[in-house]
Every structure is written in structure tokens, then in C-alpha cells.
Amino acid sequence: MNYRFPLAILVLLGLGTGLYVSLPEAPARVKEGSPSVDFSLPDLKGAMHGLPRGEVTLLNFWATWCPPCRKEMPSMVELHNKLATRGLRIVAVSVDKKKSDLAGFVREFQLPFQVLHDADSSVSRRYGVFRYPETFLIDRQGKIRQHLVGGVDWMSRSVLETVEGMLNEPANGQQG
């Protein structure tokens, strides 16, 4: 009778260890200062696109079912309208499973920037994204300058100053 409790503990520890070992590896995070990870994903018409090169890029991972994603989208549209002519490229990567959900969202919010579909989340995993939205600001040299987690007011002064500062940098990467 006295051996049951220690035996039960050993069994539970063995099960816990087995579960822990079988868990998938946590995604590797792309860190600020590291090079961006290139990819190829389809747009809503099926054309394949990669990450823009030589451009200041806002790379946003999001989903239609994500309340903070929905909340930040109007200010992202406003940021695009304000800075696209100065060279800002916005690439919005949806992790929605169904393309039809994505198409409806794009129509609803009248998204004027590039929207790509990462249905199997393979690209978001390569960036280490698992919370939505997550955004990477990438400079003209393809280096991650900022990683932002959660909804952002893209028209806030601090964000505008950061993005405009990146746009004002010379194309060769030397800050003036």
C-alpha cells in the first residue's frame, strides 16, 4: 500500500517528461538587427510575391479573426496613404486558413497595399511569429530594425518618426 503513491508520482513524471520531449520546437525568432527572411507567397489572385528588396518595408503578420489586427488596420491604411509615395512598402501577410475570409476582409477595409496569404503559417513560423498581429520594420538593406508585437496605432507620433527616419536614410544605409 505504501508503494502506490511513489509509483503514481513516477508514472506522472514519466508521462510529463514524454509529453515535454514530444512538443514541437519553439519557433526561432528573427531578432532586431538580423537580416530579414525572404519568402514567396501568393496574393489573392495567386501570383507569387517575395519581400521587397531595397525598400523600407512594414511586414505585418495578421489574421481576420484577430481583434487587435482588425483594430490596427485602418491606421495602417492611413500610414500607407501618407508614406507610400515616399517609398514605404507595406506587406500584410494573413495566416487565415480560408482565402474567402481574407478576400472579404480586404474588401471591407479597402486595403491598398500588398496582401499575401500564408495559409499554412510556414512564413510566419520562419519569422518566429505566434501572436497576432506582429510586425517587422525592415530597412532598405533588408535588416530588421524593429519588431512590434500587438496592435499598433500606425499614425502615432513615435511610429511616424521611426518610419520617416528610415525613409530619410540614404539608400546606401549610411545615416546622415
What is the pTM for the complete model shown?
Answer: 0.81
Mean residue pLDDT across the chain: 87
Question: Domain 27-168 maps to which CATH number in 1.10.1060.10, 3.40.30.10, 3.90.550.10, 3.60.20.10?
Answer: 3.40.30.10
Express each pLDDT in 153-162 by its tens digit. Answer: 999 999 999 9
pLDDT at 8: 65
According to the model, what pLDDT value does residue 26 have?
45
Task: Give residue 11's pLDDT.
Answer: 66
Quickly count: other Cβ atoms within 10 Å of residue 104's Cβ.
12
3-state helix, strand, coil in the chain (%, to 5): 40, 20, 40
136 to 11, 45, 147, 163: CA distances (angstroms): 44, 25, 5, 11
**How distant, in Å, are the alpha carbons of 80, 118, 146 from that of 34?**
25, 22, 10
Give pLDDT tens digits for 27-79. Answer: 556 788 889 999 999 999 999 999 999 999 999 999 999 999 999 999 999 99
Tell me the average pLDDT across 93-105. 90
Categorize the per-residue pLDDT at 2 as very low, low, confident or very high, splitting at 50, 70 and 90: confident
Q: Is 40 exposed, middle or buried (0-12, 13-18, 19+ CB in 10 A)?
A: exposed
Confidence of residue 12 (pLDDT cuts 50, 70, 90): low
Q: Which tops the pLDDT comparison, 11 or 119?
A: 119
Q: What is the pLDDT of residues 116-131, one digit of tens each?
A: 999 999 999 999 998 8
Task: Find how far residue 155's CA is from the centre of its chain.
Answer: 18
Residues in the chain: 176
pLDDT tier for residue 1 given thresholds of 50, 70 and 90? low
pLDDT at 136 (0 to 100): 96
